[in-house]
């Protein structure tokens, strides 16, 4: 009988022995989306203090219930199955808590403010909808943000509560919001500095008398810090008792006027490359800037002098006078050129425009073609539309650049030509499988009698790590029509590490016959703190996917943002 008793005890305790083993994985069935993510994250966090295999079944169920409660699931049915090194949670979430009553009121000076009324109308909680604590907190935050943005700095909730009737299984929400008094911007006072007061005041993103906003103060601080004129910037609101006006004091520490820069890098297109620069900021009290830059590599060398004048809005606009001498030594051709440019630049977060008038003198020739010496006076316009969440690496987004240029013998040029180029890039992340799709296309057309008379610096040349990766940098000859398309499939295998597969196809034709070039390859991408770094091997192939004769696999290295 004792043996039978011991055997029964062992059988009954067997699940506990299995549970005591190290749990290497968790499986959750019956839920999905954000609810599933929240359950897993809570269990992972709970396991940091004590292994899950050593916890009681009641405690594990309690943790799952706590993870589900914020989403309105208060009556789940949870079953736990123990497997070697694994826990399986089978969940029936049950009915969801509904909001049967929602009472929101606004008092104070801002009760009729349009921005606050708009925030009220767009609250993420609605009567008759499921309760979600995240949306409840978001609703409160939206009201506070709208009030603070309009200058109601003492806004607060006089009452904010959620009452749950467990018998009726409903929730009642009460939000009583008081905006308090409204505050306004006063005068802006700058420390004495070398920069003219007129230019400094053009950095101010608000006017005296406008509703006070902490976001505008931070924006103002960032504008001054990014101007390059100052070593340190401190923007300090001077709030005073019994006054709704808030003056702004700005303390500035001047940066060194003359600075130097050196850089060294490597790319499979250019080989070893170096950069040296001298920068004078500011040149004068009007905030003008001067840059002298030397760039060197095996196939591109440039000496450039640039003079910059801030525009009426120095944050978005500037004028430039640029002179540069360049030596280009590509597989497709060779040139020495002198370029003088007058330009106006307009930059916004989602839109950029560059308008320029250019004078070019260039001696050049394409492979096996006659040498030419041309002087060209031409206008150029470039427009860029972009949408990305991060400057270094954006999982989703796009960048589209349209450039047009032209010249005529009737206006001091030795050639007639008209040119339009489209460069479009887009990325889309498939979140469920953590796979990013990246697309890139270049389409160009040049109207000219003889394409070989177009200066090398103005030609659209394919080949290299940015387009046809299986071909050397700018190796395809020029053509009146240029077309390229490429796709990359980037699969995240570990955090910030991606396996990459890519395919490119492109062509340059007129006057040559159409002879499509393709390549295919594999690589690895690391999203580093300074941006993505891609290393891969590309193989030129024929249209039937045979390896192109005489073309060996080519190492490809890309460093920097792709959007």
Q: What angle do CA 261, 264, 267 make, to 5 degrees?
A: 140
pLDDT, residue 224, reads 96
pLDDT, residue 6, reads 57
| CATH for the 2-92 domain, from 3.40.190.10, 3.30.70.1150, 3.10.20.310, 3.40.50.720 | 3.10.20.310
Q: For residue 305, give the nearest of 328, 278, 271, 331 by alpha carbon.
A: 278
pLDDT, residue 3, reads 56
Q: Please state, in angstroms and as integers, the Cα–Cα distance from residue 293 to each residue in 226, 257, 278, 290, 301, following that order.
A: 20, 16, 7, 10, 11
pLDDT, residue 235, reads 95
**Which of these ranges, 90-94, 154-158, 187-191, has the smallest mean pLDDT?**
90-94
Q: What is the mean pLDDT of residues 176-197?
A: 93
pLDDT, residue 22, reads 60
- Residue indicated by tokens 């299995």: 18
* Pairwise pLDDT comparison (185 vs 27), residue with the higher score: 185
Q: What is the mean pLDDT of residues 109-117?
A: 92
pLDDT, residue 326, reads 97
pLDDT, residue 268, reads 87
Contact 355, 344 (CB under 8 A): yes
pLDDT bucket at 23, cuts 50 / 70 / 90: low
* Pairwise pLDDT comparison (488 vs 271), residue with the higher score: 488
Give the tens place of pLDDT for each residue, 273-331: 999 999 999 999 999 999 999 999 999 999 999 999 999 999 999 999 999 999 999 99
Contact 51, 60 (CB under 8 A): no
pLDDT, residue 49, reads 72
360/377 Cα distance (integer angstroms): 6
pLDDT score of 52 more than 80: no
First to last CA, the chain: 76
Work out the mean pLDDT of the chain and round it to a whole number.
Answer: 90
pLDDT bucket at 242, cuts 50 / 70 / 90: confident
pLDDT score of 14 more than 60: no
Length of the chain: 563
Q: Does residue 229 have a cis peptide bond before it, meaning omega lies within 30 degrees of 0?
A: no
pLDDT bucket at 423, cuts 50 / 70 / 90: very high
Q: Please state, in angstroms and as integers, the Cα–Cα distance from residue 530 to each residue in 271, 431, 553, following that order.
A: 20, 23, 28
Contact 195, 123 (CB under 8 A): no
pLDDT, residue 18, reads 46
**Residue 99 phi, psi (nearest 5):** -90, 110
**Residue 121 phi, psi (nearest 5):** -70, -25
**Which of these ranges, 33-47, 150-164, 258-272, has the smallest mean pLDDT?**
33-47
pLDDT score of 17 more than 50: no
Give the tens place of pLDDT for each residue, 424-445: 999 999 998 999 999 999 999 9
pLDDT score of 93 more than 60: yes
* Pairwise pLDDT comparison (24 vs 108), residue with the higher score: 108
pLDDT score of 16 more than 90: no
pLDDT score of 448 more than 90: yes
Q: Which CATH class is domain 184-254?
A: alpha beta
pLDDT score of 460 more than 80: yes
Q: For 309-316, which contacts have Cβ atoms below 8 Å and span 24 or more sequence positions?
A: 310/199, 310/202, 310/286, 311/344, 311/346, 312/202, 313/202, 314/199, 314/202, 314/203, 314/227, 314/287, 315/203, 315/205, 315/223, 316/346, 316/347, 316/348
Chain centre to alpha carbon of residue 171: 40
191/197 Cα distance (integer angstroms): 10
Rg of the chain on CA atoms, in Å: 32
pLDDT, residue 84, reads 77
266/555 Cα distance (integer angstroms): 13
pLDDT score of 65 more than 90: no
pLDDT bucket at 72, cuts 50 / 70 / 90: confident
pLDDT score of 340 more than 60: yes
**Which of these ranges, 47-61, 73-87, 392-406, has the smallest mean pLDDT?**
47-61
Q: What is the mean pLDDT of residues 54-73?
A: 82
pLDDT bucket at 513, cuts 50 / 70 / 90: low
pLDDT bucket at 20, cuts 50 / 70 / 90: very low
163/131 Cα distance (integer angstroms): 11
82/160 Cα distance (integer angstroms): 42
Parts of the chain belonging to CATH 3.10.20.310: 2-92, 98-178, 184-254
Q: Which fold does the domain 258-559 belong to in CATH?
A: Porin (2.40.160)
pLDDT bucket at 523, cuts 50 / 70 / 90: very high
Q: Which fold does the domain 98-178 belong to in CATH?
A: Ubiquitin-like (UB roll) (3.10.20)
């Amino acid at each position: 009988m004792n043996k039978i008793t011991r055997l029964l005890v062992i059988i009954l305790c067997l699940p506990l022995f299995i549970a005591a083993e190290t749990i290497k994985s968790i499986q959750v069935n019956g839920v999905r989306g954000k609810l599933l993510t929240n359950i897993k994250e809570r269990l992972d966090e709970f396991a940091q203090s004590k292994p899950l295999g050593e916890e009681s079944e009641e405690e594990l169920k309690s943790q799952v219930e706590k993870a589900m409660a914020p989403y309105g699931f208060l009556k789940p049915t949870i079953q736990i199955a123990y497997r070697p090194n694994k826990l399986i949670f089978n969940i029936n979430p049950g009915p969801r808590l509904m909001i049967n009553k929602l009472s929101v009121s606004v008092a104070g000076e801002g009760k009729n403010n349009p921005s606050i009324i708009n925030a009220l109308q767009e609250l993420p909680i609605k009567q008759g909808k499921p309760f979600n604590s995240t949306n409840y907190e978001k609703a409160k935050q939206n009201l506070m943000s709208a009030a603070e943005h309009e200058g109601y700095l003492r806004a607060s909730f006089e009452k904010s509560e959620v009452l749950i009737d467990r018998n009726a299984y409903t929730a009642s929400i009460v939000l009583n919001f008081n905006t308090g008094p409204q505050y306004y911007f006063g005068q802006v006072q700058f420390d004495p500095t070398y920069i003219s007061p007129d230019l400094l005041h053009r950095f101010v993103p608000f006017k005296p008398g406008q509703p006070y906003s902490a976001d505008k103060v931070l924006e103002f601080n960032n504008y001054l810090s990014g101007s390059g004129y100052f070593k340190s910037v401190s923007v300090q609101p001077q709030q005073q008792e019994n006054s709704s006006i808030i003056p702004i004091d700005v303390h500035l520490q001047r940066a060194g006027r003359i600075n130097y820069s050196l850089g060294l890098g490597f790319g499979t297109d250019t080989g070893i490359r170096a950069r040296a620069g001298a920068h004078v900021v500011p040149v004068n009290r009007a905030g003008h800037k001067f840059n002298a830059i030397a760039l060197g590599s095996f196939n591109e060398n440039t000496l450039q002098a640039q003079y910059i004048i801030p525009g009426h809005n120095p944050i978005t606009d500037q004028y430039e006078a640029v002179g540069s001498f360049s030596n280009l030594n590509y597989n497709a051709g060779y040139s020495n050129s002198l370029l003088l440019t007058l330009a106006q630049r307009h930059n916004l977060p989602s839109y950029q425009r560059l308008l320029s008038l250019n004078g070019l003198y260039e001696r050049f020739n394409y492979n096996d073609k006659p040498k030419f010496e041309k002087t060209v006076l031409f206008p150029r316009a470039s427009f860029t539309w972009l949408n990305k969440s991060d400057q270094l690496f954006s999982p989703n987004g796009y960048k589209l650049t349209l450039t047009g240029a032209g010249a005529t013998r009737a206006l001091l040029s030795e050639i007639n030509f008209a040119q339009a180029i489209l460069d479009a890039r887009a990325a889309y992340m498939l979140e469920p499988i953590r796979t990013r799709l990246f697309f890139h296309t270049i389409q160009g057309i040049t109207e000219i009698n003889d394409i070989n008379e177009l200066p090398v610096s103005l030609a659209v040349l394919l080949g290299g790590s940015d387009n046809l990766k299986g071909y050397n940098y700018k190796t395809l000859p020029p053509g009146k029509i240029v077309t390229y398309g490429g796709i990359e499939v980037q699969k995240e295998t570990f955090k910030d590490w991606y396996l990459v597969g890519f395919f490119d196809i492109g062509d340059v034709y007129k006057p040559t016959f159409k002879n499509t070039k393709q390549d295919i390859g594999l690589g690895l991408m690391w999203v580093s703190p300074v941006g993505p770094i891609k290393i891969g091997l590309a193989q030129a192939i024929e249209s039937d996917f045979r390896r192109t004769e005489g073309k060996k696999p080519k190492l490809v290295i890309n460093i920097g943002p792709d959007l």
